[in-house]
Amino acid sequence: MSLVNFTAREITCKIVYYGPGRSGKTTNLQYIYGRVPESRRGRMVSLATQTDRTLFFDFLPLELGSISGFSTRFQLYTVPGQSYYNATRKLVLQGADGVVFVADSQARRFDDNLESLQNLQDNLLAQGVDVRQLPAVFQYNKQDLPSDLILTQSEMDDALNFRSVQSFEADALHGHGVFETLRGLSELVLKRLAAGTAVA
């Protein structure tokens, strides 16, 4: 749930990048972090155990505007992809205002995508969150790989995108589709906030 700071006249929204291990969640965050002006972002924090890592940072976007005179700040989080870190994933997911599901476009990772998507839905339901109400987008990463190794955006939509939400092709390593994905979700989150008149 968004945090409202009346003194600073600022709303902070939490966006979580979810998906299977090695799908490109961390790569997305690193790309964004490297391109947001230093004056507009906090430092990147990595919460790491020996085997599991969660990254996050916050930033003030330049062009998304304000709601009722409040500026918007976004906190971006990744979750560890491996299923045995489910407790960490549940924790990071708490209070999310929106989710980017980063799917690996490689055909051989199809089952991993499905398993991770089911896990996301289970974890949201366990927290009492209606998955149909939470702003979400899909990012189909690694679309730069040879066509015989990957599924197209249309094939990925058919397999994963049951709610017909917005989806984006991406090559997070080189930045293609990274900011488009973030902007797509950010706009949904802000639209929902504005509709809910979260700021009185």
Q: What is the pLDDT, as a whole number, of residue 71?
A: 85
Q: What is the pLDDT, as a whole number, of residue 62?
A: 59
Q: What is the pLDDT, as a whole number, of residue 67?
A: 78
Whether residue 170 contacts residue 178, with contact meaning beta carbons closer than 8 Å, is answered with yes
Q: What is the pLDDT, as a whole number, of residue 198?
A: 46
Q: What is the pLDDT, as a whole number, of residue 50?
A: 64
Q: Domain 3-195 has what CATH class?
A: alpha beta
Q: What is the pLDDT, as a whole number, of residue 183?
A: 94
Q: For the chain, what percent of residues have pLDDT higher than 70? A: 92
- Identify any residues that bridge with 58 across adjacent strands, giving them in sequence order: 75
Q: What is the pLDDT, as a whole number, of residue 142?
A: 98
Q: What is the pLDDT, as a whole number, of residue 55?
A: 75
> Which segments of the chain have a pLDDT < 50?
198-200
d(CA 172, CA 126) in angstroms, rounded, equals 30
**Residue that is written with structure tokens 């919460």 in the block:** 47
| CA angle (63, 69, 73) in 5-degree steps | 50
Amino acid at 48: A
Q: What is the pLDDT, as a whole number, of residue 200?
A: 42
Which helix H or strand E contains 30, and what residues bound it? helix 25-35
From residue 24, how far is each of 64, 82, 139 by CA, in Å? 25, 13, 10
Q: Quick one: 147 exposed, middle or buried, by C-beta within 10 A (0-12, 13-18, 19+)?
A: exposed
First to last CA, the chain: 16
Q: Global pTM?
A: 0.92
- Identify any residues that bridge with 140 across adjacent strands, giving them in sequence order: 103, 169
